[in-house]
Amino acid sequence: MIDARSIISRLKRGEEVTKEELHWFATGLSDGSVSDAQAGAFAMCICLRGLSSSNRIALTLAMRNSGQLLSWKGIEGPVIDKHSTGGVGDCVSLVLIPALAACGGYIPKISGRGLGHTGGTLDKLEAIPGVKTQVSSDQLKCILKEAGCAIVGATSRIAPADKRLYAVRDVTATVDSVDLIAASILSKKLAVNPDALVLDVKVGRGALVKTISEAQMLATVLTDIANSNEFKCKTTALITDMNQPLAPVLGNALELREVMRVLTGDTNSGALLEVVSALGGELLSNTNLAEDRHQGVDKVKQTIRDGRAAEHFNKMIYAMGGPATFCHDWDQVLPCAKVIHEVVASSEGYICSVNGERLGLAVIDLGGGRKVETDSINASVGISAILRIGTKVDKGQPIALIHAQKKEDAFNAERVILDAIKLSSTPPIIPVLIHDRVH
């Protein structure tokens, strides 16, 4: 008979366990027959000993199969998806998903909320009055048919084993296991049953993954699992830079404003658009929607230039309960902070370093994120007009704008920003935006 103690004992010795045993353990996580102590020991054994490639795949499969698998019968076109490991100023999904829909894909993207210093896509969407991100499977399919895309939260029926194990990992210092990270991400992504997937593995000071070697390892493990014979989901990963915020803004409504400026042609927001088009090119080339990734890049950019991406975004927002004309009057609809405060350079020089993690934590202190799960979010606060590395500035020139509810909050944030954005007397090396491609 299979039991938790024998599985944990063998994992503790670094031995293989069977596919059936991992399925049994995942079922026990979801129905409660595995205790918190056993779940913690299981996670710690994997964290310390690691898993073989076959056991990684088996654990991902078991956790995926612990809940509902979505079906897209009646959807006439490739179902595709994207996942980011998290960063600051990362509003890629809000531009990319409607652009992919305009190219003929169907994107049922299940997203999350803010984690640590990184912002959450659902929190950003909910800055739009009326938008509801928690929907049923039937509602999700209706939104998909109407708009070609949907960005929603996971229901409790998607990979419940992962939800239970993640909560245990959070309090047992086992979050940083590559095996557990990969199984957690892909058990939810592959429950959506996409035909193709692209992974945006962020690396740098503003990301959860700090070094290139760690990012390459995670990207390799993720793509190996998704492309395996067990799943056969055509998957590519890009390792993208997060040594400075991707967009020049942080904060839910502020990032939405930047998204709308890109979608409506008010700005090309270079770095954001470059990552959006690169990820989109990979996804389109992994389906029949583009001959190769270069043509895919061109197609994504064209949908943004001609306004079709904005139309799909507007349809999605309306289908999710938002204003019917959001893409026309977004500037009046989105909330604004009461206090806007300039942060100016203390000397002349070049921006040489931007600590995105510190900036992300400053936004949380302003009220733009959660310190505990029950905190409410003020969507209007944040930081905008953040200058990029390499920009030459004069003494007294603004290097960022703080959006706050109170002057005292703005002054506190100013001290953090001045410490997070460093100046040098000589031009710095500009960070590469896309470090690697793993496929």
* CA 377 to chain centroid: 18
Q: Is 164 a catalytic site residue?
A: no
- Supply the DSSP symbol for 254: H
Identify the DSSP state of 244.
S
Q: Give the Cα-Cα-Cα angle 260, 360, 312 (nearest 5 degrees).
A: 20
Q: CB atoms < 10 A from the CB of 49, how many? A: 15
In the residue annotation, 184 being an active-site residue is answered as yes
Please provide the distance, in angstroms rounded to a whole number, between the alpha carbons at the two ends of the chain. Answer: 40
Yes or no: say if 413 and 383 are a contact pair by the CB < 8 Å rule.
yes
The alpha carbon dihedral of 269, 271, 273, 274 has a sign of: positive
* Active-site choice (23, 60, 81, 287): 81
Active site residue 241: no
Catalytic entry in 84, 174, 240, 380: 84
CB count in 10 Å sphere of residue 422: 15
Q: Is 132 a catalytic residue?
A: no
Active-site position among 56, 164, 188, 299: 188
Annotated catalytic residue, options 66, 85, 174, 184: 184
**Which residue of the set 169, 257, 261, 312 is catalytic?**
169
Q: Is 30 a catalytic residue?
A: no
- Please name the helix (run of DSSP H) or strand (run of DSSP E) that holds residue 109, with its range, or none: strand 107-111
Catalytic: which of 82, 141, 261, 299? 82
Q: State the CB neighbour count (10 A cutoff) for residue 137.
A: 15
In DSSP terms, 350 is beta-bridged to 392, 424
The residue assigned the tokens 């935006």 is 433
Active site residue 407: no
Among the listed residues 66, 111, 121, 269, the single catalytic one is 121
As to burial, measured by CB atoms within 10 angstroms (0-12 exposed, 13-18 middle, 19+ buried), residue 68 is middle
| Active site (annotated) includes residue 395 | no
Q: Quick check: helix, strand or coil at residue 89?
A: coil
Closest to 116 (Cα-Cα) out of 209, 44, 30, 39:
209
Catalytic, 299? Answer no
Choose the catalytic residue: 23, 56, 83, 164.
83
Q: Which entry of 113, 124, 189, 202 is annotated as an active-site residue?
A: 189
The continuous run of DSSP H or E covering 340 comes out as strand 339-344
H or E segment and range at residue 108 = strand 107-111
Is 376 among the residues known to form the active site?
Answer: no
Coil, helix or strand at residue 125: helix
> Read out DSSP for 303-326?
HHHTTHHHHHHHHHHHHTTS-TTH
**Beta strand pairing call for 382-384 and 398-404:** antiparallel
Phi, psi (degrees; rounded to nearest 5) at 247: -95, 160
For the annotated catalytic residues, the residue numbers are: 81-84, 121, 169, 184, 188-189
